[in-house]
Amino acid sequence: MSDWIARRCRVSGRVQGVFYRASTRAQAQMLGVTGYARNLPDGSVEVVACGDRAAVEALCEWLWQGPPAAEVTRIDVENIAASKLPGRPTGFSTL
């Protein structure tokens, strides 16, 4: 799959305790994106998104919206080389 990409996004703002991870999982599943979302100790959420370029980009754009109670103030995005991943994730999980 030549158009397969992976990105790590660190989402800051009011993103914990507002169903951000669960909403991200639902959106990722709808788009066919694999990876995970997890809370970080500093109050941000880390999202790793893998899949078709258009789907990953759509999820990364959606992260700015999130669920209704979220208030996203910043997203730092990093491209991840496929060689840096232990394998392609199957499914999308919340950690």
* 39 in active site: yes
Catalytic residue among 21, 25, 74, 88: 21
Q: How far apart are CA 1 and CA 79, in angstroms?
A: 17
The Cα-based distances of 5 to 1, 21, 51 in angstroms read 9, 21, 6
**Distance from first CA to last CA of the chain, Å, rounded?**
27
Catalytic residue among 8, 10, 14, 39: 39
Catalytically active residues, by annotation = 21, 39
